[in-house]
Amino acid sequence: MNFITRSTDGFDSATTVLEDISGDYVIDASHSRLGFSARHAMVTTVRGAFTAFDGTASINIAVPSASKVDLVISAASFETGSADRDGHVKSADFFDVETYPTITFASTSIERDGAEWTIAGDLTIKGVTKPVTLLFEQVGSARDPFGNLRVGFEGGGTINRKDWGLTWNVPLETGGLLVSEKIKLDFDISAIQSA
């Protein structure tokens, strides 16, 4: 598992209004991104995102291990900007969205070291559940113009798609494969504290 290093150069400084962000939250999908990237033909990177998802988080700053994250993603919301590619990935060669409409993640353990959070959990794709570990940085907290308390996290990790039975590929004449087995996950999460 490799942590994806994030650069905040060029952005305004994050806002932090609370040191203790303990509480229950709902992920704000309209201000969050569940991104991914893969190598294509081993010469370039194709990026995309899932655009429909719901999630909740229970954050406990004092006892991070008491925290919890749950996420449900619509597999059919896979988008890379190419209708042909997206259709292929949604087919039985990959996600088989007709049979397996959702991808889920449920945390099994959470650790915190300052602003760094390590979230281990069960990722289920196409009916196969495997453990993954994701690393996140707590970016900030703010009260938005509508009175909502928001918290932000950025992070991700790397998985091997073959672990979930996503094995379709084509060997290249010059060596290597058309689609990389390793997939990088890249998340920007904004969550709103629930009442």
How far apart are the C-alpha atoms of 195 and 60, rounded to whole Å?
16
Evaluate whether 154 touches 126 at the Cβ level (below 8 Å). Answer: no
Q: Residue 120: give its domain's CATH number.
A: 2.40.128.110
Considering the domain boundaries, does residue 10 fall inside one?
no
Tokens of 182: 């390793």
Query: Residue for token digits 């690393």?
Result: 135
pLDDT tens digits for 97-114? 999 999 999 999 999 999
Considering the domain boundaries, does residue 13 fall inside one?
no
For residue 4, pLDDT over 50 is answered with no
- Percent above pLDDT 90 for the chain: 71
**What residues contact 120, with CB distance under 8 A and at least 6 apart?**
107, 108, 109, 110, 131, 132, 133, 134
For residue 7, pLDDT over 70 is answered with no
Query: What pLDDT, on the 0 to 100 scale, is given for residue 3?
Result: 44
Considering the domain boundaries, does residue 12 fall inside one?
no
Considering the domain boundaries, does residue 9 fall inside one?
no
* Bridge pairing between strands 78-79 and 149-160: unpaired
Considering the domain boundaries, does residue 6 fall inside one?
no
In one letter, which amino acid is 107? S
Considering the domain boundaries, does residue 72 fall inside one?
yes
Which position has the higher pLDDT, 66 or 41? 66
Query: What pLDDT, on the 0 to 100 scale, is given for residue 2?
Result: 43
In one letter, which amino acid is 74? S
Considering the domain boundaries, does residue 83 fall inside one?
yes
DSSP single-letter state for residue 95? T
Number of domains in the chain: 1
Domain limits at 61?
Answer: 23-193
Considering the domain boundaries, does residue 17 fall inside one?
no
Closest alpha carbon to 28 in 144, 157, 156 = 144
What is the distance, to the nearest Å, from the Cα of residue 149 to the centroid of all Cα atoms in its chain? 22
* Bridge pairing between strands 182-193 and 149-160: antiparallel
pLDDT tens digits for 113-141? 999 999 999 999 999 999 999 999 999 99
